[in-house]
Amino acid sequence: MEIKKSNPESVAPPIGKYHHLTIIPRDAELLVLSGQVGNDRNGEIPDNIETQYANALKNITSILKSEGVNTCNIFKINIWFTENIDREYFTEKWSEFHNESPPATTLAYVSALARPEIKVEIEAWAAR
């Protein structure tokens, strides 16, 4: 199965590392993940947003791996932060996560998430 990702010339290039358009093959099975927060494997939520962000990405990778899918098969991702994150750290972890094949992406800053200590939530959609 091949997921096609592109940036059509009819619009300006993306302002970040993502693709404007992702096309999923007709026969693909969709995997829809609930929003992943920054808790570690033991359920502990760190105090800082950078560690929460790294944990949320690890959680997504682990869930997909449990289904035999890797992050290159993610076609849509939504990221919500409640506070600013170090931009260099964000970009480094983001590039490692998608292996230079970024999906269609939305990033937003919100006033709050499900619990006060949660500073990041990431929702991912993948196909196999």
pTM: 0.91
- pLDDT, averaged across the chain: 95
Residue 79: pLDDT above 90? yes
The first and second tokens of residue 117, run together, are: 């200590």
Nearest partner of 80 among 112, 120, 50, judged by Cα = 120
In the chain the domains, ranked by start, together with CATH numbers, are 4-127 (3.30.1330.40)
Residue 99: pLDDT above 90? no
Sign of torsion over alpha carbons 67, 61, 33, 116: positive
